[in-house]
């Protein structure tokens, strides 16, 4: 009787088990990558909102007064909330501007916090006049 060539049932079941494990690991890795991608996308968009708000402060004509402000913005087809805090520094002609950005409706989960400094434009004119 000639020997048959092929796989027996145990070999096929073992191959299916390995294939199932590989697929499971691939799906888990992909879902983790997708979550990381969404987190990175949200953080990037939030930083752009913060940079835009800092640019508004830095390009305004006057010297910003200390205090807090907040507002809303749209970036990447998503709604964002920002909170801005202008703080005094030891130098009276310099202000620290801190902008925190949140997804709209989640004001406790800051996705981006950016800081910039703004100099008093009149301080330069005063020093040139002296």
**Prediction pTM value:** 0.71
2 within a domain of the structure (yes/no): no
Asked whether the predicted pLDDT for residue 130 surpasses 60, the reply is no
More confident residue, 111 or 29: 111
SS3 state of residue 94: strand
More confident residue, 127 or 16: 16
Domain count for the chain: 1
Mean pLDDT of 89-107: 91
CATH at residue 65: 3.30.1300.30
Return the top range by mean pLDDT from 8-12, 75-79, 104-108, 121-125. 75-79
4 within a domain of the structure (yes/no): no
66 within a domain of the structure (yes/no): yes
76 within a domain of the structure (yes/no): yes
Domain of residue 94: give its range.
Answer: 10-128
pLDDT band of residue 125 (cuts 50, 70, 90) is low
pLDDT band of residue 117 (cuts 50, 70, 90) is very high
77 within a domain of the structure (yes/no): yes
């Amino acid at each position: 009787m000639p020997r048959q060539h092929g796989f027996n049932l145990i070999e096929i079941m073992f191959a299916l088990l390995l294939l199932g494990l590989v697929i499971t690991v691939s799906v888990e890795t992909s879902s983790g990558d997708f979550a990381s991608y969404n987190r990175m996308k949200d953080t990037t968009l939030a930083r752009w909102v913060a940079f835009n708000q800092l640019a508004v402060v830095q390009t305004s004509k006057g010297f910003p007064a200390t205090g807090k402000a907040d507002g809303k913005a749209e970036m990447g087809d998503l709604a964002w909330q920002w909170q801005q805090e202008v703080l005094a520094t030891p130098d009276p002609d310099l202000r620290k501007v801190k902008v925190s950005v949140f997804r709209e409706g989640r004001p406790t989960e800051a996705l981006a916090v950016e800081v910039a400094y703004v100099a008093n434009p009149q301080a330069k004119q005063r020093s040139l006049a002296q």
